[in-house]
Structure 1
Amino acid sequence: MDYEKLPNFLKNMNSVVEDDLEGISWLHGNPPDYTLVNNLYLSERTKIHPPHSLEAIITNLIKNWEKELSHKTDVSQWRTVDTGKFRVSMNGGEFKGLGDVAKIGAYNFFIGESEYYAASLVPDPTESHQVFRKAMKNGFALEVLEVYTPPPKVVFKWRHWGRMEGEVQCPMRNKTIRTMKPTGGKVELIGTTVMVLNDKYEIEQMEFFFRPDTMLEQMAGVC
């Protein structure tokens, strides 16, 4: 892997919100400001990977992918994926294409029908994004903990975390609304991803394995 020849989204964790922004369709109309979440990441990450290491490269890739997933509404403008082949699955379930995930939204796809949050009751991706943005006002940071295999099939372990700093009204699976008061406590997820890259280091396929209910249980204060 020749580091100098790698695309910028593997070398700069903010590449997709800093490079070539003209004409990009953003969820909230403008490029997102990642100052708070980047500060959270840099101050509370548990791993500091050596520059140019495989772990650092995969960190940049997955963080740029998450930014596109959360904020770019025109999937043809995503740089981190092979837009013609990309597909993703959760816990061995059905694979979804790029358009499917963009349509339902990142939180809805990854959480689904939890006891404390029912994606089917918040079908609009902008609205679902706001539910959790209000809860974790300083962001929901992502770090790569370990990378087990190199490209083209990359297996890695990750951590996603934030703090419950705002009130949330969650539509539950039983169709009632549960108000979750801010506790200031940490909300944390740990998972594993199997990812296939093409020869341009664009993502073709991702399989995520984690327990999404964990996040909602922490927010609801039941664990």
Structure 2
Amino acid sequence: MVRVSTQDLTPEATAPVRTALPDYVTTPNAVFSDKGVQWRYGRPPDYTKTRKVWREGKKMSHKAGSLEEIVENLVKNWEVEASFKTKLDDWRTIDHANYTFSINGGPPQTGEHMLNVGTYNAVIAPNEYYSPDYSDFASSHKTFKRMMPNFAWEVLEVYSGPPCVAFRWRHWGVMKNDYVGFNDKGDRVTARAHGGPIDIEGVTVARVDEQLRLQAVDTWFDSLQMFRQIAPDGVVRKEPKTDNRGPEARFDEAVAQAVKLSPDEISKLHSDVVDGKRSGGCPVMMNRE
């Protein structure tokens, strides 16, 4: 908030003073053009396909400049930074001195924690389909991005405005490839692709500062929503853990066996290249929006 003294103002100077909004709340693509930052794969990700999925599948069309659009743009830019800027100092969408993130009333997590474990592992609790205990940043992104290449995100409703912003959101995509992951027992879990939609919702309460940067972000959602839709009939194949290799090596072998990926295709997963392009990647909010 800008405070201006009314003393000694001329009549012409008494009009309301408006400050320009930061770019990360006026466009969803603001941080892509940031210079001098450390990008996870050497350059900004390509969200072209995910933005197309968003335009074609969104339920809401928010008015330009509305609080709903501002919140949506802020979260989308934050997601890009959380997924692809590897240096926390480069994140522009957060108040570095006060930023925390928590899920379902759990303990607050720092930005460094999310950078270390990955955005998926920061929001998904261990369950019969997937566990962060048996997956790292790289393997978690491979698991979900390969299964669902584009995962769009939108704000459905905003219940309160700054400094405490409460809103309901939606995350959706299509299960185009088999799900391959590791559950809370370390077993390999495979679910066949059904080609249908995966659509989840949640609620977030975010405190922001005067620059609309995120401070305390608290999100509530049922991560099992997604897994129930991955295997709607509960039909999955589970194979017990047989070795102690790292998560990424186990994932690469599992996918290669399940879908007969070539060494070159496995290499593309490592470099985050899909169909010749670097694609956008994460969840509130998971991935790729």
TM-score by length of 1: 0.94
Structure 2, unpaired ranges of 5+: 2-16, 235-289
Q: CA deviation at 1:167?
A: 1.8
Q: C-alpha deviations, 1:63-108, integer Å up to 9, x for none? A: 1111111111111100110122100111011111111111111000
Q: Which residue of 2 aligns with 1:34?
A: 47
Q: Report the more deviating stretch, 34-43 or 168-177.
A: 168-177
Cα pair distance change 1:3/1:160, threshold 3 Å: farther
Q: Report the more deviating stretch, 3-12 or 58-67.
A: 3-12
Q: Which residue of 2 aligns with 1:8?
A: 23
| Superposition CA RMSD, Å | 1.5
Pairs within 5 Å for 1:139-158: 139-158=150-169
Larger of the two Rg values belongs to structure = 2
Q: 1:96 is paired with a residue of what secondary structure?
A: coil
Q: Which residue of 2 aligns with 1:214?
A: 225
Equivalent AA in structure 2 for residue 67 of structure 1: V
The one of 45, 58, 63 aligned to 1:50: 63
Q: CA deviation at 1:179?
A: 1.2
Equivalent AA in structure 1 for residue 68 of structure 2: E
Equivalent AA in structure 2 for residue 136 of structure 1: M
Matched, 1:205 2:220: no
Q: Which residue of 2 aligns with 1:63?
A: 76
Q: CA deviation at 1:192?
A: 0.4
| Distance in 2 separating the partners of 1:27 and 1:96 | 21
Question: Percent same amino acid among aligned pairs?
Answer: 35
Matched, 1:86 2:99: yes
Number of aligned pairs?
Answer: 219
| Distance in 2 separating the partners of 1:102 and 1:34 | 20
Q: CA deviation at 1:222?
A: 3.4
TM-score by length of 2: 0.73
| Distance in 2 separating the partners of 1:222 and 1:30 | 40
The one of 163, 170, 175 aligned to 1:159: 170
| Distance in 2 separating the partners of 1:148 and 1:212 | 22
Q: Which residue of 2 aligns with 1:187?
A: 198
